[in-house]
Each structure stands twice: as structure tokens, then as C-alpha cells.
Chains A and B, each alone.
Chain A
Amino acid sequence: MKSSLIKSTVIFLGLFFLYFPILVLIFYSFNENKRVMVWKGFSLRWYNELFNNEQIIEAFIISIKIAALSATFATILGVMIGYSLVRIRKIPFKSFYIFLSSTPLVLPELILGLSMLLFFISLNNVIGFPSSRGQLTIFISHVTFCIAFVAIIIQARLTDFNKNIEEAAMDLGYNYTKVLYKITLPIILPSIIAGWLLAFTISLDDLVVASFTTGPGANTLPIVVFSKVRLGLSPEVNALSAILMFALIIIGLFYFYFNKKFKH
């Protein structure tokens, strides 16, 4: 009895700690007052201003575009890595392959961002491309560090996947390619979708790497938000937070739905 009370208290306090800041943010987004901290009354004023703020809307569109594209590329390449690591025995310099596909997970974003920027500058010096940085360079950088996250999900999925199904199909006359497209990929499809959603969110949320690799005409949403709140508070960002938190949490729930589907 006593221990179950401790247990409920710990869980309650833990969840309170995790959700309290988010609730505070949503609460203040309905504050009429321009001074964020002084409550003046309930209002949707800042939501209205938010939807009329061209800078934020434009940044939002750019971010969604980059996130969708880089998630797609990262998913394709990440599935290939996950598949290779679990199913393909002969990978030249396998340790190096593992190094390349797992280091982006642990490398601090700042170092990754700096290395990408210096790479693009050097590349431009050598072959004259990319002449300026922008959406393309952010896209390339995001693909590079999202691949690892997708790969790890696919790798986990394929490891506990019953190989007998693939072998049975092979015995029935399917060749490798056919087994892959007709059996393996459809079975791991939920994990592929989960991987895409994760990559999409990571790209949408990234500030550091995007700050290094951005250029004219490529202010992503986090860059704009950061410039607004670095030194103070912004009522428009409060409104944006509430919407964005809500949207991202829905994406998160979808991720769980897909990622769990196979775990009977």
C-alpha cells in the first residue's frame, strides 16, 4: 500500500515536470497583453497576428519543404543502411560503414554544422558549387544527420524479423529482388513510416545545423523563432508554440502507432 503510494507520487511528479512548461506556454499564448508576463485577459489576438506575419509563414513553408524532402531522402538511404547491416554479409570496410552510419547520432550538432559549412565553402572553392548557401545546403546537411536515425529503427526492426518468411519465399522461387520488394519491404513498412516521421521532426526542429548551413532566402522556422526569443519573449512565438507543440505531438503519436505495430 505504502509503496504503491510512492510509485504514484513519483510518476505524477515526473509527468507534471514534463508537461508543466508546455501548459504554461499554451496558457500564455492566450494572453491579450503585449507584455507576455502580465495577464490582461483571454484573447486570440496573437494567433491572429501570427497568421498575418509573413516572415513566420514563409519560414514555416521553407521548413516544411526542407523537412519533407530531407526526411524522404534520409529514409531511402537509411533503409538501405539498415538492410545492409542486417542482411548483407559482404560489406567492404564494414567497421568504417558502421562508423559512418552511427557517428552522426552522437556527434554534437555544432561540430556537424561547422564541418558541413566548411565543406560547402571548400567545395565551392574547388568546383564552384554551391556558389551560395541556402535551402539546398540545409537539405543536404539534414539528410546526412537524419540517415542514422532511420537506419537504427530499420536495423532494429529487421533484427527481430522472422527470416523464415524470406527463406520460404526464396524456396518458392522468388529471387532476391522479388523477396525484397514483395516480402521484406511491405513487412517493415510501418517502421519505414516511423523512420520518416522521426526524420521529418528532427529536420523541422533543427536550429544549430541549419544556422551554419543557411544562406540568403533560407530562414527556417527555428532560425526565425530563435532570433525573436534569444534576448526576450515574443507573444507571437507563444501562439506559434501552442500550434506547433500540438502538431508535433500528433506526429509523435503516429510515430508510436507505426513503430509499435509489429511488436505484437
Chain B
Amino acid sequence: MFEKYFVFSPYFWLVLFFFIPLAIIFKISISVSEWGMPPYQDIFLFDNGFKINTTFENYVYIFSDYYYIGSFVNSLILALISTFFCLLIGFPLAFYIATSNIRLRNILLVLVVIPFWSSFLLRVYAWKIILQNNGILNVILLNLGITSEPLQLLYNQYAVIMGIVYTYLPLMILPLYGYLNKFDLNLIEASKDLGLNRFKTFFKVILPLSVPGIVAGSLLVFIPVVGEFIIPEMLGGSDRLYYGKILWEEFFVNRNWPGASALAFSGIIILVLPIVIFQILYSRWSQKNEI
């Protein structure tokens, strides 16, 4: 009997507070916008008989304007670059942690993940202090004589990438470590014994075997970064607009609810749906193969 409660209590909660809100986003995204409160018309009209009042105007509007497309592309590029750097820093770290002895491995793993537990917002704020014109990095550069006057390090896209790589790095390291940890170290020895040099061992043995970890880590970084709002807002400048900012302003500043909803729903379709389908197929597949 309790089984029913176990399945249906969370089912009920998630349908009500997660699925219906997503459906409402879709509904508003196909509504006709107008001045007023709420700033859109109902999709079902009953005044002169029943009429469905929907439009794809909002989608046409955002997909035909470079302002929206451009910021979405900016966000995708930002996510791509950040994911790349997370991988570049995260892979060697995860690899060396996974190949340490057991005691050290656990300590290192906790050390890597602990910063992730401290506040996200404050970790971004820390970079604001570091990158100030009279901040620590500029002081070091000046003292080393690398530059003769303080560099403008803050409020540009590079500061944004820096902040993202810093805050999302643990999300890359964890799944990578998970896969590298399972991996038989003797394979590396074997490949060396068979005459492959380090370079070849890496590309022919280590890398192919860690592909699932790379995919998992990259997705965990890539997707939230596309929707990232706080980091560009704190560290970024006006040189580049991103999806998150556009969505925020479309809703709060322009008060264009249907437009903001269309932006959000497009984001779901483009980013999230492929992964969800993959996940469902994968869990079905693994369940079948288990029996």
C-alpha cells in the first residue's frame, strides 16, 4: 500500500509544480501579446463561440532578430570555450587524483569538491576582487614589470570565462574522476610495454576509455553555462550579450512575457530535450540488459 504513496506523492508534486509550469511557459509563448496585465491574450476565447487564439509570432520575432539569435550564439560559444578550458584543467587533475594511492585520493577528492560547497555567488564575487584595477593580479603584474599600468581585467568576456571555469570546474572533475577511477592502471603499463610512447598511450588508451566521463562532465558544464546569468552580470561588460541576460530583460524590463516565454521554451527544446531523450533511452536500455 505504501508503494502507492511512494510513487504518487512526488509524482503529484512534480506534475503540479514542475510540469504544469513548463506547460504554462509553452502556453504563454504561443499567446498573442498585448498591452495590459497580464500582457498577453488568452489562447481560448469564448466571447463569440469557441475560438483558439494562438500565434507563432513570438518565435518568428525572436528567431528573425539578430539581437536574440546573436546572444544565443554568444552563449553557446561561451559555453563551448568554458567547457573546453574546464576539460583542459580538469582532465589532468582528475587523472592524477585517480592514479594516486587510496588515502591521498580521498583527501584530494574532498579538497577539490569542497570549494563547490561554498557559496557560488561569493566565489564569483572573489574574482571581482582579484581582477580589480588595483586588485591582486594587477599588483603582481605591475611588480613583475610585465605591464607598466594596470590592465582592465574586469567587465569583459575574458573575466566571464575565468569566473565560469573557476566555478564549474568541480562539475567537470567529478564525473571524469568517476570514470578514471574505474579504469585499470595496468592498461597504461601494458601499452608502454607494447612500445607505445606516452603520447600514443594517452591518445590510444587513456582518452578513448574516458570518453563517457568527458561527455558527462562536459554536459554538466555546458548546459547550465548557456543559461548562466549571474557570472556575466557580475564580471562581464557590455561587449557581449548572453542568452540569460536577454531572457531576464525581455521579461523584467521589456515586460514581453510571450517573447520571454518563447525564448525560454526554445532554450528547453534546443538544450534540454536531446539529453532527456538520451537519458530515458539509456535507462530503458540498461534495464533491459540487466534482466
On whether the beta carbons of A14 and B93 are closer than 8 Å, the reply is yes
Contact of B126 among A11, A15, A24 (CB under 8 A): A24
Does A226 lie within 8 Å of B230, measured CB to CB? yes
Chain A residues with CB under 8 A of B132: 37, 233
Chain A contact residues: over half helix, strand or loop, or mixed?
helix
Given contacts A24-B136, A28-B129, A143-B13, contact A125 B38 (CB under 8 A): yes
The listed residue (B21, B126, B260) touching A21 by CB distance below 8 A is: B126
What mask results when residues 6 to 31 of chain A are scored 1 for a CB within 8 Å of chain B, else 0? Answer: 01001100110111111011001000
**When the two chains form their complex, are residues A229 and B125 in contact, meaning their CB atoms are under 8 A apart?**
yes
**A106: chain B residues within 8 A (beta carbon):** 219, 223-224, 271-272, 275-276
Question: For residue A110, which residues in chain B have a CB less than 8 angstroms away from its CB?
Answer: 227, 229, 244, 247-248, 264
Residue in B135, B260, B267 whose CB lies within 8 Å of A108: B267
Is A78 in the interface zone, CB < 8 Å from B? yes
Assess the B121–A222 pair: CB atoms within 8 A.
Answer: yes
Which residues of B (203-255) have their CB < 8 Å from a CB of A? 219, 223-224, 226-230, 233-234, 244, 247-248, 251
Q: How far is the CA of A7 from the CA of B13 in the complex (A)?
A: 48
CB pair A114 B7 closer than 8 Å: no
A residues 25-43 in Cβ contact with B at 8 Å:
25, 28, 36-38
Q: Which of A44-52, A127-135, A161-169, A242-250 contacts B (4 or more CB under 8 A)?
A: A242-250
Docked pose: A164 CA to B132 CA in angstroms: 60
A97-B11, A119-B24 known; A108+B120 contact, CB < 8 A: no
Determine if A57 is an interface residue (Cβ-Cβ < 8 Å). Answer: no
Interface residues on A, range: 35 or more
Q: What's the Cα separation between A233 and B2 when bound, in Å? A: 53
**B141 on the A face (CB < 8 A):** no
CB contact under 8 A between A98 and B227, given known A147-B14, A225-B121: no
Size of chain B's interface in residues, with CB distance under 8 A? 86
Q: Is B193 an interface residue (CB 8 A)?
A: no
- Do B17 and A116 have beta carbons less than 8 Å apart? yes
A183 to B170, alpha carbons, bound, how many Å? 34
Query: In the complex, which residues of chain B have a beta carbon less than 8 angstroms from the beta carbon of A201?
Result: 117
Q: Is the pair A147, B229 in contact by a Cβ cutoff of 8 Å?
A: no
Q: How far is the CA of A151 from the CA of B272 in the complex (A)?
A: 19
Which B residues between 9 and 66 are near A, CB-CB below 8 angstroms?
A: 9-11, 13-15, 17-22, 24-25, 28, 38
Cβ of B279 within 8 Å of any chain A Cβ, yes or no, is yes
Q: Are A22 and B134 in contact (CB under 8 A)?
A: no
When distances are taken between beta carbons in the complex, the residues of chain B under 8 Å from A107 are: 268, 272
Q: Assess whether B118 is in contact with A109, with CB atoms less than 8 Å apart.
A: no
A91–B108 CA distance with the chains assembled, in angstroms: 40
B180 at the interface (CB under 8 A from A): no
Cα A225 to Cα B132 in complex, Å, equals 19
- The closest CB in chain B to the CB of A197 belongs to B117
Asked whether A80 and B10 contact (CB < 8 A) given A99-B276, A108-B271, A118-B21, the answer is: yes
> Given A15-B111, A119-B17, are A241 and B126 neighbors across the interface (CB < 8 Å)?
yes
Is there contact, CB below 8 Å, between B19 and A114?
no
Q: Which 5 A-B pairs have the closest CB atoms?
A: A108-B227, A252-B117, A21-B126, A119-B21, A115-B21
List 15 extra interface pairs beyond A100-B11, A114-B260, CB under 8 A.
A7-B100, A15-B111, A21-B127, A92-B7, A114-B25, A114-B251, A115-B22, A144-B17, A176-B2, A177-B1, A225-B125, A244-B119, A245-B118, A252-B117, A256-B113
- A selection of 5 A-B contacts at a CB cut-off of 8 Å is A21-B123, A114-B247, A118-B257, A205-B119, A245-B118
